A and B are shown apart, each in its own frame.
Chain A
Amino acid sequence: MDRFCLICRFLCVLFLISRGGVAQVSWTADSLVAVGQFDLASVYYEKALFDQSQKIDSLNTDGYRLMANELLYKKIRCQKYLKRFEDAWQTAQRFNLNEPNDTLHYKLRYEAALTGYLSQHYGEAHGQILQTRFYIRDSTLFSGLDVLEILTLNELDRWAESKELFKKYAARNQLNIDTEELYRFLKKKPKSPEKAQLLSFIMPGVGQMYAGFPKEGLVSVGLQTLALGFGVYHVWHRYYLIGFFTGAGMFQAFYFGGARRAELMAEETNQKRKAKNNQRIRMTLIESENKKGK
């Protein structure tokens, strides 16, 4: 019995020594994180992953997967601290998602979706969210996913879906928020760049006014009137060449330039509105999550 015990303890020590490299590097990385050296810590986590991959034969598949995922998770945390979101997204792609434990599986998929959102891969992030909902059976874990999905849908301009999800989120969290009021902007049609351009062709300056820039519209009208007036005045006084080249030349430049500018202004207005609405919803969500946290 003693002999058996001795053999067991001896093997245990050997095992710890063989694993020591990976663990030691990982501990070093953890201590670097603790002192805020995320850049170097991220490399140490990669080193631990590398060391582990060199000893793949000595580990069982589950142990290897669990440890690799844990190291990748920590590496992503460092990259997020450094605001290297694209790198974090690339690291998240390396997760082994064959995870039977729902809690762990959810943690990995959520991280992948979050890094996708932060690195502006909105389509892929939303795909990851849908996969999370599909593959993970324990739906009680999904509470944090709603926020991320709402934000992702907003970025994808899928406002109607975002609204529906927000309603559910508000009901689940018993929020005293008027969703209709928050999404009131959906009733407003976005400005059409083509329409703005057409309006400016028909009546100079109107396109800019339609796009939401009335002052610029008035300036455009003024400049075109001046150019046209200059041309007409000179033709009237028989300065045909000056009237034609200078007057008509300036008029056509302001006329076509103004119409093109109106088109760009409509696009700009739409972008601004989208950013403003998105920010409003984002702030509401942050406030609600903060309250939950308290």
Chain B
Amino acid sequence: MRKRNRFNVLFGLCNLISLLTWLPLNAQQKPSSDSLFVEYLLEKKYYNDVLQWTGKHQYLPYFRALAFYNQQQIDSAIHYFERVPVQHPYYIKSRFLEGFGHTFSKRYEKADTIFTILKVVDSLQIALRNLQLAGVSLLKRDTLRFSTYQSQFTGKYFAFSQEEEMLKQSFDMIKKHRRKSPVVAGLMSAIVPGTGKMYAGKLGQGVITFIQNVALGFQAREAYRKDGWKSPRFLLYSGLFTFFYVGNIWGSVLTVNIRQQEFNDKVDGQILFNMQIPLRTVFNQ
């Protein structure tokens, strides 16, 4: 009986020691285990799961931000990138991505401020910040400032030397691009229908518009010649002709603006792309 008691006491003691050693260890391991798990989820691209897992206590802001960023929910990503503390190992990366997020959302001034005040010491990161600032300047169409940053392009970093070249090409495109005048397009279309659209760069549309207007004009003329200007047939066709004629002038003015917008969107897309690729390469993002 005594032996049995001794056995039970010893067994209980062993269990207690095991638990006492395991519990603090487990508590210590939890945060790092959580970050490892979240990193694993991010690697597997389970972004919704990351948000679910970190959502309860809103902790691990860096990982939440990354999940939002990868889901292209840029505003939410920015909100969490802002909350990454300075001592965090991924603080610099967070600031870069936050700056890019603002650029992507067309908040160029905010992006400019973030990149300008960002303190980096590593030469690669300094060059990367310079590239981002150059990109933002180009998006703002501040060519003078872009030239200043461009002069600091080294071309020696494999991660983004090509993107530096591409930004220079975008700059040249912007410089060479001749903005077309909506007034000229409208006037041209008023003189010869369709030519305003041709001037804006839409040759096919211009030809079709020309044929349409000529056909309606001839029909109105035929109605006038046969029935006189008071006839319903003439009124109908002259009304239709006027409608299409005026519409064509207005359309030519709009076409010039649309073409300009298309050009801007294309160049801006290229610039953003050339800003994002280096971030991916440098930060493995």
Contacts and interface: CB of A to CB of B under 8 A. Distances in A.
Q: Do A and B assemble together?
A: yes
Interface of A: 2, 6, 9-10, 13-14, 17, 21, 39-40, 42-43, 46-47, 50-51, 54, 238-242, 245-246, 249
A17 B10 CA distance: 18
Contacts of B11: 6, 9-10
Interface in B1-49: 3, 7, 10-11, 14-15, 18-19, 22, 26, 33, 36-37, 40-41, 46, 48-49
Contact of A239 (B33, B40, B53, B226): B226
B215 interface: yes
Given A46-B49, A50-B40, A242 B237 contact: yes
13 contacts: A6-B10, A6-B14, A10-B11, A13-B14, A17-B18, A17-B22, A42-B49, A46-B46, A238-B226, A239-B233, A241-B218, A241-B219, A242-B237
A292 B272 CA distance: 60
A173 B48 CA distance: 43
B223 A239 contact: yes
Q: Which has the most chain B C-beta neighbours within 10 Å: A2, A50, A241, A246?
A: A241
A278 B41 CA distance: 39
A54 B14 CA distance: 26
B10 A40 contact: no
Contacts of B219: 241-242, 245-246
A47 B53 contact: yes
Sorted from nearest, which 7 A-B pairs have the closest CB atoms? A241-B222, A43-B49, A245-B215, A43-B52, A242-B219, A43-B53, A241-B218
A121 to B, nearest CB: 19
Nearest to B21: A17
Main secondary structure of the interface of A (DSSP, over half): helix
B37 A47 contact: yes
B237 A39 contact: no
Contact of B14 (A10, A47, A239): A10
A239 B22 contact: no
A22 to B, nearest CB: 12
A54 to B, nearest CB: 8
A236 to B, nearest CB: 13
Contact of B15 (A13, A43, A245): A13
Nearest to A16: B18
B97 to A, nearest CB: 24
A42 B41 CA distance: 12
Interface string B218-247: 110011001000000100010000000000
A39 B18 contact: no
B18 A46 contact: no
Contacts of A13: 14-15, 18
Q: Which has the most chain B C-beta neighbours within 10 Å: A10, A43, A46, A249?
A: A43
Contact of A242 (B7, B22, B48, B222): B222
A13 B218 CA distance: 99
Contacts of A47: 37, 53
Nearest to A14: B18
Contact of B37 (A6, A39, A50, A246): A50
Interface string B56-92: 1000000000000000000000000000000000000
Contacts of A14: 18
Nearest to B54: A43
A21 B37 contact: no
B53 to A, nearest CB: 5
Contacts of B15: 13
A141 to B, nearest CB: 32
A2 B18 contact: no
Nearest to A18: B22
Contacts of A246: 219
